[in-house]
């Protein structure tokens, strides 16, 4: 229970120093949830960027070696079909 009181005091003092009006518990919880949600979105965007650039994590966006070989085989086959059609 003491930690709750300390958190409340800290919040009140901070609001007074910043010149903000007092806010209700419900508003404080909504602001906290909004902040946590924004942090999760930011982390997801940064993680996706790092994975795409290949600096960290597995390279999901690059085809594997066997996929490259299959793709090349498919391209060769399509080229042969195009030559036959002309």
- The tens place of each residue's pLDDT in the chain, 86 residues long, gives 688 889 888 888 988 999 888 888 898 899 999 999 999 999 999 988 877 776 655 555 555 666 667 777 888 888 888 887 66
CB distance 61 to 52 below 8 Å: yes
Query: Can you read off the two tokens belonging to residue 4?
Result: 């709750």
CB distance 15 to 23 below 8 Å: yes
Give me the pLDDT at residue 1, please.
67
Locus of tokens 């036959």: 84
Cα separation, 8 vs 28, in Å, equals 11
Give me the pLDDT at residue 35, please.
96
pTM above 0.75, yes or no: no
Q: What residues contact 60, with CB distance under 8 A and at least 6 apart?
A: 51
Query: Can you read off the two tokens belonging to residue 53?
Result: 């650039």
Query: Can you read off the two tokens belonging to residue 2?
Result: 């003491």
Q: Please state the domain extents for the chain.
A: 23-85
């Amino acid at each position: 229970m003491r930690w709750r009181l300390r958190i409340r005091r800290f919040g009140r003092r901070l609001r007074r120093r910043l010149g903000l009006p007092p806010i209700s518990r419900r508003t404080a919880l909504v602001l906290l949830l909004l902040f946590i949600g924004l942090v999760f979105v930011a982390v997801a965007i940064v993680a996706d960027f790092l994975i795409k650039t290949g600096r960290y994590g597995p390279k999901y966006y690059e085809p594997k070696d066997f996929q490259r070989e299959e793709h090349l085989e498919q391209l060769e086959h399509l080229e042969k079909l195009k030559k036959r059609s002309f």
